[in-house]
């Protein structure tokens, strides 16, 4: 049976591939992006019957509110699965001794506050649906036990660790309402963020993550998994 998905950051990379694969499976997909008209990749997938584009900047409260109202009109019966995919990575040159406050603020705003904004605003529609799943695309780089010889991307790693905590707290809060909230690491993927030398394609990452989402149950609530379904250490 087709499900109704909402995906943030659907203009390119992992978000656009989520839209492609989920729509080809016959689901209803509400693809949210800061500027949908600027993404030919996304517009090519939109048909306004099963795939819709909605303008949503996750860090702008007015944009989030207006998007939630549009999503309510498109899916008055509720939505099944929210995928919080939008995220930014920060500057590769920065290290823990020189990352400036503006970079921390900017990444925290997008990777944590943005995810919270969208989740809070769409909770009423998620509660109306039957499936009740929230998927946060976080990162292995937010794991406290994952170390690298040079601790690169500090602002990204700090904020992805915080986004993991955000997901865990939503999982605990919503457990009694039969929600399943997952933090998922997509692998190291060939996108603008991951770069062309990353390990896997978006096709492989998204195929894996869709399978993880489909196989998740109430018992999976609050887990941190990778795109192959392996548990990732916090
Ligand atoms: P990309 O940089 O290719 O795409 C990022 C997406 O997020 C774009 O669609 C961008 O929109 C959107 N975005 C950024 N800020 C906002 C905002 N304020 N509101 C709405 N949309 C926004 O990244 P990926 O596709 O690689 O990453 C997707 C997710 O996966 C991220 O959360 C990332 O941290 C995570 N991830 C990626 C990995 C990788 O190897 N690629 C590894 C681990 C995690 P716009 O086009 O408007 O800029």
- Is 163 a pocket residue for ligand 1 (Cβ < 6 Å)? no
Ligand 1 atom 16 nearest Cα: 86
- Domain-embedded: residue 63: yes
Question: Does residue 216 fall inside a structural domain?
Answer: yes
Is 233 among the domain residues? Answer: no
Please give the residue range of the domain that contains residue 182: 4-226
Per-residue pLDDT of the chain (234 residues; tens, 9 = 90+): 899 999 999 999 999 999 999 999 999 999 999 999 999 999 999 999 999 999 999 999 999 999 999 999 999 999 999 999 999 998 888 899 999 999 999 999 999 999 999 999 999 999 999 899 999 999 999 999 999 888 899 999 999 999 999 999 999 999 999 999 999 999 999 999 999 999 999 999 999 999 999 999 999 999 999 999 999 999
Q: How many domains does the chain have?
A: 1
Burial label, 207 (beta-carbon count in 10 A; 0-12, 13-18, 19+): middle
CA distance 24 to 47: 12
CATH code of the domain covering residue 167: 3.40.50.720
Residue 74 lies in a domain: yes
Whether 234 maps to a domain, the answer reads no
**CB 67 less than 6 A from any atom of ligand 1:** no
Q: State in Å: Cα 176 to ligand 1 middle.
A: 31
Read off the pTM: 0.98
Q: Is 14 helix (H, G, I), strand (E, B) or coil?
A: helix
């Amino acid at each position: 049976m087709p499900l109704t998905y909402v995906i943030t950051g659907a203009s390119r990379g992992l978000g656009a591939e989520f839209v492609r694969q989920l729509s080809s499976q016959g689901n209803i997909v509400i693809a949210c992006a800061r500027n949908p008209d600027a993404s030919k990749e996304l517009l090519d997938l939109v048909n306004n019957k099963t795939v819709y584009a909605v303008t949503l900047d996750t860090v702008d409260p007015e944009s989030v509110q207006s998007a939630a109202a549009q999503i309510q009109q498109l899916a008055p019966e509720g939505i099944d699965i929210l995928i919080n995919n939008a995220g930014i990575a920060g500057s590769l040159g920065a290290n823990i001794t020189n990352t400036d406050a503006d970079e921390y603020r900017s990444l925290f705003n997008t990777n944590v506050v943005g995810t919270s904004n969208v989740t809070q605003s769409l909770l009423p529609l998620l509660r109306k649906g039957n499936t009740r799943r929230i998927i946060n695309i976080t990162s292995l780089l937010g794991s406290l036990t994952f170390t690298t010889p040079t601790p690169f991307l500090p602002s990204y790693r700090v904020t992805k660790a915080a986004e993991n905590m955000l997901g865990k707290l939503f999982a605990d809060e919503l457990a009694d309402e039969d929600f399943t909230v997952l933090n998922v690491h997509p692998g190291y993927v060939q996108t603008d963020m991951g770069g062309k030398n990353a390990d896997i394609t978006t096709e492989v990452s998204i195929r894996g993550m869709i399978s993880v989402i489909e196989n998740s149950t109430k018992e999976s609530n609050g887990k941190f998994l990778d795109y192959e379904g392996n548990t990732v250490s916090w």
